[in-house]
Structure 1
Amino acid sequence: MNAWLIALHAIVLREAMRFLQNRGRFLSALVRPLVWLVIFAAGFRAALGLSITPPYQTYITYEVYIVPGLCAMIQLFNGMQSSLSLVYDQEMGSMRLLLTSPRPRWWLLFCKLMAGVAVSLLQVYAFLGIAALMGIKMPAMGYVYVLPALVLSGLMLGALGLLISSTIRQLENFAGVMNFVIFPMFFLSTALYPLWKMAEASRLLRDICAVNPFTHAVELIRFALYAQFNGWALLWVGTGAVAFFLLALLGYDPARGLMRRKG
């Protein structure tokens, strides 16, 4: 068990050092949601009226509504950036070296996944702190209750990035694939508008949003920020995390996935 924890510590520390040495990544992770919060929310505040829906007990401003979605967006982009580093490691050969470790492959990939989650937690809480300074505050206990929700949603979105990285052969191809995944997942979700609002425009789009795993990650975070439990979202996010991770393991299997194709 000690050797397994050493592997976890080494991989998380490596990812943390890489993150801390790249200040631009940290700033970009905060600037992106803040632009949405300040500019987008101000422009759509009057156009998108919101009724009283769980977990909210009263009418809320649009800025308050989109904060959980922006937290999930930070984790989504971080998951994709972590997978980008995996593609880079594959080209440089360090990923192949990592996977030849005496520890099981699934544990090494899980450690890589947990390292990405740890980085995303720092980014999300920094964003929540800035939002609080701007007057967008959540219940005090919500900042505590949201931690396990962020860990689980980060695992799911990170596992999705891990799965994507197992299908990319060249670093140049990653940007197109990343945009093909990020923007549909983000816009076809409840990050920016509730399902009932989408249903007013199109029942089909509403159904697509309802089955989007990112929607359930957003709702899990939204309810947790108000110290409430959303079992349906928890089930979806947990199932998605397991499914994406198992598929990523197949992708990194030398007999079936990326390593065999590159060979």
Structure 2
Amino acid sequence: MTAQTQEAQAAQDRDAATQRPRTAWGTSLLAIVEREALRFLGQRGRFFAALVRPLVWLLVFAAGFRAALGLSIIPPYQTYITYEVYIVPGLCGMILLFNGMQSSLSLVYDREMGSMRLLLTSPQPRWWLLFSKLVAGTCVSILQAYAFLAISAAFGIVMPWLGYILVLPALFVGGLMLGALGLALSSFVRQLENFAGVMNFVIFPMFFLSSALYPLWKMEESSQLLRDICAVNPFTHAVELIRFALYAQFNGWALLWTLVATVAFGVLALWGYDPARGTTRAGG
């Protein structure tokens, strides 16, 4: 074997060695996404249940609030809007929020059944496995959000056509943030029965203390403190990111804070699922 042949063989070996981890990482990601998709398809009631909550707000509550909550011209809107138009982005955020918690609930169940231990003992890094779980849950959330947008359009609440495309990355980033929050919460809950209480303790304050249902200036008329709480709520920034994207506008401040919150919740989840802490072993 000549020197050139040996060098070529060594280069091929190096390429193969670097390609194998990438292939394994991609395989694990696809496997987790496929598992979540199959679980979702097997629970069709979960899909319709996820749409019931926002549709009730859109078709029932919005009719009652329409007269009480007149909305002025605020970005990204160029004219006066009805209350139904305003809350559509917030209700998309509601879908992401509830599905993120629902996906995390399945993690608590997996940990009780012992499958979480098998997942975390795979050769891939723990952070990649948790990220794959986040991506899988976010993909399901996006499907539900687009289904809600389609139903809203059928009732006459239509966004600019370009917004339906540009909202995709906004939904993905928002879904990752809320999924990471649910993941972090699930790492500290050892029993399935306790997670429902934790969900209610987090979901409802996060949802109502945000700009999902009321603009911040409207909240400020009632209380400056409530307005400040809403302004620092990460869910507010996820909703505003979706709102601006639906109107083909970019909100850099909302994107920044959503990404910061995603990283913070992700780090907390990694710490919570650290086997050295014993939480995962104790749970399953």
Give 1:62's match in structure 2, choosing from 83, 88, 113. 83
CA distance in 2: counterparts of 1:234 and 1:121, whole angstroms: 17
Instruction: Work out whether residues 251 and 257 of structure 1, in 8 Å CA contact, stay in contact via their aligned partners in 2.
Output: no
Distance 1:218 1:253 in 2: 31
Equivalent of 2:111, from 90, 95, 103? 90
Number of matched pairs:
263
Report the equivalent of 1:160.
181
1:81 to 80, 96, 102: 102
Quickly say closer, same or farther: Cα 1:35–1:46, change in 2 above 3 A.
same
- 1:259 offset after TM fit, Å? 2.0
Partner SS state of residue 73, structure 2: coil
Structure 1 runs of 4+ aligned residues shifted over 3 Å read 260-263
- 2:128 maps to which residue? 107
RMSD over aligned Cα atoms: 0.9
Percent sequence identity is: 78
1:206 match: 227
Q: Mapping of 1:172-183 within 5 angstroms? A: 172-183=193-204
SS of alignment partner, residue 277 of structure 2:
coil
The correspondence for 1:144, drawn from 165, 170, 178, is: 165
| TM-score normalised by length of structure 2 | 0.91
C-alpha deviation, 1:258, in angstroms: 1.7
TM-score normalised by structure 1 residue count: 0.99
- 1:184 alignment partner, one of 192, 205, 210: 205
What letter corresponds to residue 123 of structure 2 in structure 1?
P
Write the mapping of 1:113-124 to structure 2, written as runs, cut at 5 A: 113-124=134-145
3-state secondary structure, aligned to 1:55: coil
CA distance in 2, matches of 1:251, 1:239: 18
- The 2-side partners of 1:36 and 1:195 are apart by 19
- Corresponding residue of 2:73: 52
For the pair shown, the structure with the greater C-alpha radius of gyration is 2
Q: What residue number does 1:40 align with? A: 61
Q: Deviations over 1:157-202 (max 9, x none)?
A: 0000000000000000011000000000000000000000000000
Q: CA deviation at 1:262?
A: 4.3
Q: Is the 8 A contact 1:191 1:218 kept in 2?
A: yes
Equivalent-residue separation in structure 2 for 1:70 and 1:262 (angstroms): 33
Q: Which runs of 5+ in 1 are unaligned?
A: none
Residues 46 and 83 of structure 1: CA distance in aligned 2, closer, same or farther (over 3 Å)? same
User: Are the counterparts in 1 of residues 180 and 269 from structure 2 also a CA contact under 8 Å?
Assistant: yes
Partner of 2:280: 259
Which of residues 12, 17, 20 in structure 1 aligns to 2:41?
A: 20
Q: Determine the C-alpha separation between the residues in 1 that align with 2:102 and 2:96.
A: 10
Alignment of structure 1 residues 4-15 onto 2, 5 Å: 4-15=25-36
Does the 8 Å contact 1:250/1:257 carry over to 2?
A: no
Kept in 1: contact 2:273–2:280 (CA 8 A): yes
Partner Cα separation in structure 1 for residue 105 and residue 278 of structure 2: 17
Instruction: Kindly indicate whether residue 257 of structure 2 is the aligned counterpart of residue 233 of structure 1.
Output: no
